[in-house]
C-alpha cells in the first residue's frame, strides 16, 4: 500500500505557487507531509503548512483536489488555497519543524527558504517527481478558486 503525503498548493493573485526549500537539498517543494494516526488529510495538510511555513490556514478555505500519483511508493493528497501577497508576506514564514542534521546532529529546520514561483518555472526548482505530479493535474494549479 502506498504512503500518502498531504499538502497544499498555495497560490497568490499572480498565479504563483509558494515553494519551500528543503534544507540541504537542491529542490524546492510544496508544504506537505504524512498524516498522524486518526488525522484527516485536510487536517494533516493544514498542520504541515503550519509546521513548515508558520502560516495558519482555515481548513474550510481549502479546496480539495484529491489524491494524485506522486512516486512509486507515495501518492499526494492535495488541496488548494489562494492567498493575497498583501496579507501573506513570505518573508515572515518560519519553519517550526526540525530534524537532527546528518553530520553535526544539530537541530535543523526542515525548510530554510520560501519563494513565489511562476508555474512555467516549476521544473527549475521542484524535483522531477513533484513537477510531473503537478503537470498531470487538469488545470487546478492555476485555476481560480
Write the CATH number for 44. Answer: 3.90.79.10
- Residue 145 in any domain: the answer is no
The residue with greater pLDDT, 117 or 86, is 117
pTM here is 0.90
Distance between alpha carbon 11 and the CA centroid of its chain, in Å? 11
- Residue 144 in any domain: the answer is no
Q: Which domain holds residue 84?
A: 3-136
- Residue 141 in any domain: the answer is no
Percentage of the chain lying above the pLDDT 90 cut: 70
Q: How confident is the model at residue 98 (pLDDT cuts 50, 70, 90)?
A: confident
Mean pLDDT of 21-30: 93
- Residue 98 in any domain: the answer is yes
pLDDT over 50 (residue 63):
yes
Number of domains in the chain: 1
Cell of 37: 494516526
Cell of 139: 488545470
Amino acid at each position: 500500500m502506498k504512503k500518502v503525503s498531504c499538502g497544499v498548493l498555495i497560490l497568490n493573485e499572480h498565479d504563483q505557487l509558494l515553494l519551500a526549500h528543503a534544507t540541504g537539498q537542491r529542490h524546492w517543494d510544496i508544504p506537505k507531509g504524512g498524516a498522524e494516526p486518526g488525522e484527516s488529510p485536510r487536517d494533516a495538510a493544514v498542520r504541515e503548512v503550519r509546521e513548515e511555513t508558520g502560516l495558519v490556514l482555515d481548513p474550510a478555505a481549502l479546496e480539495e483536489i484529491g489524491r494524485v500519483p506522486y512516486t512509486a511508493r507515495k501518492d499526494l493528497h492535495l488541496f488548494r488555497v489562494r492567498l493575497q501577497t498583501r496579507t501573506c508576506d513570505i518573508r515572515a514564514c518560519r519553519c517550526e519543524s526540525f530534524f537532527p542534521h546528518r553530520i553535526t546532529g544539530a537541530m535543523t529546520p526542515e525548510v530554510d527558504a520560501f519563494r513565489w514561483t511562476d508555474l512555467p518555472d516549476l521544473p527549475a526548482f521542484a524535483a522531477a517527481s513533484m513537477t510531473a505530479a503537478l503537470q498531470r493535474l487538469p488545470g487546478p494549479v492555476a485555476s481560480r478558486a
